[in-house]
Amino acid sequence: MNHESQLKKVLEQGGFGVTAECGPPKGADAQVILKKAELLKDAVDAVNVTDNQTAIVRMSSLAACALLKGAGLDPILQMVVRDRNRIALQSDILGASALGIRNVLCLSGDHQCFGNQAEALGVFDLDSIQLVQTVKGMRDQGTLVGGEILDPAPDIFIGAAANPFADPLEFRVTRLAKKIKAGADFIQTQCIYNMDRFESWLSMAADRGLTEQTYLLGGVTPLKSAGMARYMRDRVSGMDIPDDVIKRMEGTPKEKQREEGIQICVETILRLKELSAVKGVHIMAIEWESAVGEIAEQAGLLPRPVFDKE
Amino acid sequence: MITAEQKPIDEIRGMIAPYKRILALGCGSCVAECAAGGEKETAALASALRMAARMNHEDRVIDEKTVDRQCVNEFIIQLDDILDSYDTVLSLGCGAGVQAVADMYPEIPIIPALNTAFLGETRDQGYWVENCLGCGDCMLFYFGGVCPLARCSKQILNGPCGGSVDGRCEVNPDIPCAWQLIIDRLTRFGALDRLEAIYPPKNWARKQGSGPRKIIREDQQK
């Protein structure tokens, strides 16, 4: 089996990277993952597997990544610091590397109060930047937190997230700089609907030379309906959906709204492709993995590069 | 100070049910400041319990007393002469007070009347907020006097997270984003560059690494 990060290869060779998202089921059926794998397989370079997203208990990200790996995909293990302390996180990094998982995305995680285990203890022993730094130390120095040697070092392409739409804007760039300094090889952003704000954030990041120090993948999410657009605007914090996008969805007949959502998403990707500082796109089609191939096709992202397997 | 709130009266009545002679014991320190277990609240609770007992035709004696500090032995010792007349102590102290009384008088059952909450400040009348975890290694200098461990919902040392919008926390818009406060204060003092550094993982050993903590000061011992 190929144990190199497909995403890393595409990006290092100057390609426009494409990633998608796969949410594990609230159940123990491997087939759910394998079906999603089939939908995503030739449409993207790598697939993020969410880690108990919105604090709802689901099949573990590590297990679902192993299933994707077995099906020939390049998984990105999302790891949130909400549920595990530094002992468990480092242990899972070693386990992931041993399973041939080559990408990790380090996140804070949605607060436990939003999920179905609101009485759970939030761990937050490390924060997301410290997790990036920890994985980098394990990989590059072969050390654990505190300096103890491990052998052999895990082989991991390290990712982090950035939200250009949260406040305060100027400090968002400082935080991006900290993530890069900590060791983020690639960055995936929050869903982009407000291109103006995204571009002002991007130009501030470029001014600090940050866009040259990491691979920046712009996040996009196809809207399924006007209702979903309004819900995301009103209820998902740090989500910025301008009125013209909402109006465009509302002005479309219900039965055509999915198509319109895909169209908006494709237009966003085409604009992102024009920006030299953007090295790829992360398509988060929430519980709508079947849309990813169509979006990639229409945005001219197919076929994905294939490398010789040794 | 340590903040607390009184338990629901039905829960308290359930716990005191087996006992006939009860001493409601208030504390004049933190829990008086947060209007949960001071002299006034102790009198009010004792009176409510007496009334409930009368209405339910229960044969129960409920007296009240408040000591200045229920967590300090020199003050608890005032109970030496009176405890013999009671079957139980209903403590309106914080968790530390309850246990200090229990340690001093192992032979008498002690019942907590409060839910102890957090280390905080009185922000306004009837308004208390949490702002210290007692981590054992104060970092307030670095964060402009705002503690991200106590006041950020995700305890982020390198914040803010992506959920900070208009200075509010994603967990609840009633909560100010601690990181917005940190950035605002450091900006005011021209010290925002302090946040360019990556703060390493917290040393939690100072809080819970060696089990329950104690402070021993030989210079203070006789």
pLDDT tens-digit readout, B104-145: 999 999 999 999 999 999 999 999 999 999 999 999 999 999
CB-based contact A124 B204, cutoff 8 Å: no
Predicted confidence at residue A29, as pLDDT, reads 98
Number of folded domains in chain A?
A: 1
At residue A2, does pLDDT exceed 80? no
Query: Residue A304 falls within a domain, yes or no?
Result: no
Residue type, B133: L
Cα dist from B113 to A145, B13, B126, B170, whole Å? 43, 10, 19, 33
Q: How many helices (H) and strands (E) does chain A have?
A: 11, 8
Predicted confidence at residue A235, as pLDDT, reads 86
**Which one-letter DSSP state was computed for residue A304?**
P
Cα separation, A70 vs B159, whole angstroms = 36
pLDDT tens-digit readout, A183-204: 999 999 999 999 999 999 999 9
Cβ neighbours of residue A177 under 8 Å, at least 6 residues apart? A208, A210, B196
Structure tokens, B140 = 């307030």
Three-class SS state of A186: strand
Q: Which domain holds residue A72?
A: 6-298
CB-based contact B154 A111, cutoff 8 Å: yes
Instruction: Grade residue A308 by pLDDT with cuts at 50, 70 and 90.
Output: confident
Residue linked to tokens 């999920």? A115
Predicted confidence at residue A63, as pLDDT, reads 98
pLDDT tens-digit readout, A21-34: 999 999 999 999 99
Q: Are A98 and B126 in contact (CB under 8 A)?
A: no
Cβ neighbours of residue A307 under 8 Å, at least 6 residues apart? A6, A9
Cα separation, B149 vs B208, whole angstroms = 15
Query: Residue A307 falls within a domain, yes or no?
Result: no
pLDDT tens-digit readout, A271-286: 999 999 999 999 999 9
Cα separation, A124 vs B154, whole angstroms = 6
Predicted confidence at residue A173, as pLDDT, reads 95
Average pLDDT of chain B to the nearest whole number: 96
Q: Are A114 and A103 in contact (CB under 8 A)?
A: no
Instruction: Compare CB distances from A108 to B156, B165, B183 and report the shortest one's residue.
Output: B156
| CB proximity under 8 Å: B 109-148 to A | none
**How many residues make up chain B in this entry?**
222
B150: nearest CA partner in chain A: A124
Query: Residue A226 falls within a domain, yes or no?
Result: yes
Q: Which residues of A6-36 are buried (b: 16+ CB within 10 A; e: fewer)?
A: bbbbbbeeeebbbbbbbbbeeeeebebbeeb
Predicted confidence at residue B165, as pLDDT, reads 87
- Angle at the Cα of A212 from the Cα atoms of A209 and A213, rounded to 5 degrees: 90
Q: Give one DSSP letter per residue of A228-292, joined into a string.
A: HHHHHHHHSTT----HHHHHHHHTS-GGGHHHHHHHHHHHHHHHHHH-TT--EEEE--TT-THHH
Residue type, B150: A
Chain A CB contacts of B200 below 8 Å: 130, 133
User: Which alpha helices (DSSP H) does chain A contain, by range?
Assistant: 6-12, 30-40, 61-70, 86-98, 128-136, 169-182, 195-207, 226-235, 243-250, 257-274, 290-298
CB-based contact A238 B196, cutoff 8 Å: no
Cα separation, A199 vs A216, whole angstroms = 13
Query: Residue A1 falls within a domain, yes or no?
Result: no
CB-based contact B154 A122, cutoff 8 Å: yes
Query: Residue A200 falls within a domain, yes or no?
Result: yes
Residue linked to tokens 């005191």? B16
At residue B55, does pLDDT exceed 80? yes
Cα separation, B151 vs A85, whole angstroms = 20
**Which one-letter DSSP state was computed for residue A24?**
P
Chain A CB contacts of B133 below 8 Å: none
For the residues A56-76, what does the mean pLDDT come to? 98
Instruction: Grade residue A1 by pLDDT with cuts at 50, 70 and 90.
Output: low
Three-class SS state of B78: helix
Structure tokens, B134 = 């007692």
Every domain range in chain B assigned CATH 3.40.50.2300: 2-118
Predicted confidence at residue A213, as pLDDT, reads 98
CATH number at residue A243: 3.20.20.220
Instruction: Grade residue B70 by pLDDT with cuts at 50, 70 and 90.
Output: very high
Predicted confidence at residue A309, as pLDDT, reads 60
Helix or strand run (H / E) with residue B31: helix B30-33
Query: Residue A303 falls within a domain, yes or no?
Result: no
Query: Residue A83 falls within a domain, yes or no?
Result: yes
For residue B95, give the nearest of B37, B160, B18, B168 by alpha carbon. Answer: B37
Q: Are A110 and A79 in contact (CB under 8 A)?
A: no
Residue linked to tokens 């007070």? B97
Instruction: Compare CB distances from A166 to B155, B158, B163 and report the shortest one's residue.
Output: B163
Q: Which of B139, B152, B158, B184 is most worth mutating to test chain A (most A CB atoms within 10 A of its CB)?
A: B158
**Span B2-118: which CATH code?**
3.40.50.2300
B153–A contact, CB cutoff 8 A: yes
- Torsion angle of the four alpha carbons A272, A276, A279, A283, in this order, in degrees rounded to the nearest 10: 0
